[in-house]
Amino acid sequence: MTDHDTAEDQLEDLPLDALPLDAWHRARGARMVPFAGYEMPIQYAGPFGGIVAEHKWTREQAGLFDVSHMGQLHITGEGAEAALEAVLPIDLATLKHGNPRYSLLLDENGGVLDDLMVTRWNDGFYLVVNGATKWDDIAHLREHLPDEVTISHMDEHALLALQGPKAFAALDRLVIGDTPLGALTFMKGATFTFTHTGTDAWVSRSGYTGEDGFEISLPADAAAEVADLLCAEPEVKPIGLGARDSLRLEAGLPLYGHDMSPETSPIEAGLIFGINKRRRTEGGFPGAERIIREINEGTQRKWVGLRIEGRLPAREGAEVFSGSDHIGTVTSGGFSPSLGAPIAMAYVASTHAAPGTALEVEVRGKRLAAIVSPTPFVPHRYYRGS
């Protein structure tokens, strides 16, 4: 195993687990593929099926994604807040109840071990971590959190993501809560009940497509019934892993194991927003010395968006050039169904990272013209209130 192997690569030879909705996906003609240690639906069969159709449906209507491979953790116990602040570059004093916040798990050199979401609950903190790294994350947290702090893996819960401009209309018909669903704006959450089934679920207005939408944590044994309810709404169709990747690529959102890893720092990855303002000067988290230095002095390379001429997509690993100089490597890339053109994200030398810089990407032995582009490629449509 090399230093560059991702957590996903390391999982390839292990037996694959089944999602709580495995049978549900197969009954709908899903093509299942290995991902993050699970068999997951990449796309669905039928006249609607296909990655491009599923992508466009999500941009125009609402798509239901099964993201139950993600790790859901509940952190409780005396001193949990201070203990979490010691391992994450977050300012928990500013985190209000029910509001998810993006953060990072870092090694001692400031490399990214994982990116995650943290939410304050009444009795502790709710973390959602990446599926491919969740066992390593749990081990890391157990090693670095004191014995008084308990880490509960919520492995009897499923996680669904309902994404798209019609997601609110569909979900609002099905749930009730102490506050209206419409009171949730981007990155806020609350508990709701599905009225047809009596299922209680934690719902946050968040997601990874760039669209308005919701992530729904609920008991795994209720997931199929709730998924049926959601897909019975005219706006909602099940969407696979293929469209999830093209949607997040258009939204300019990084994927762990591809666009970030222990070999990358949050600053060169453009993730400074994952480090709260107070921590950028005070430090007190793993890798703080390097990260504060990079905030002040800059980095030798930067993560950028690329628009590529023609129709041939550049995939992960494609090399980036300025003239005869090799100046970077693509980390994510593909064809954008929304734009009708190939797009990519890459690390390039900081001297070539300004928007509008003309570069070339080598694909199948051919140099393709590329332009450094601001991200997101497709504007975010998060709901921040009327």
pLDDT at residue 360 tops 60: yes
pLDDT at residue 12 tops 60: no
Angle between helical axes of 241-250 and 51-60 (0-180°, round to 10) = 60
Which pTM value belongs to this model? 0.94
User: What mean pLDDT comes out for the span 191-220?
Assistant: 98
Query: What whole-number distance in Å separates Cα of residue 350 and Cα of residue 327?
Result: 9
> Largest alpha-carbon pair distance within the chain?
63
Q: What is the pLDDT of residue 14?
A: 63
Domains assigned to the chain: 300-373 (2.40.30.110)
User: What mean pLDDT comes out for the span 151-180?
Assistant: 98
- In which band, very low, low, confident or very high, does the pLDDT at 5 lie, cut at 50, 70 and 90? very low
Q: What is the pLDDT of residue 277?
A: 95
Q: What are phi and psi of 143, to 5 degrees?
A: -70, -35
Q: What is the pLDDT of residue 15?
A: 83
Q: What is the mean pLDDT of the chain?
A: 95
pLDDT single digits (tens) 248-262: 999 999 999 999 999
CA distance readout (Å), 16 to 12, 28, 65, 110, 233: 8, 20, 19, 31, 32
User: What mean pLDDT comes out for the span 124-147?
Assistant: 97
pLDDT single digits (tens) 325-334: 999 999 999 9
Residues in Cβ contact with 297 at an 8 Å cutoff, skipping those fewer than 6 apart: none
* Nearest 10 degrees: Cα torsion 81, 87, 88, 89: 110
Q: What is the pLDDT of residue 187?
A: 98
Q: What tokens does 232 get? A: 């019975």
Q: What is the pLDDT of residue 1?
A: 30
User: What mean pLDDT comes out for the span 329-351?
Assistant: 98
- In which band, very low, low, confident or very high, does the pLDDT at 46 lie, cut at 50, 70 and 90? confident
- In which band, very low, low, confident or very high, does the pLDDT at 13 lie, cut at 50, 70 and 90? low
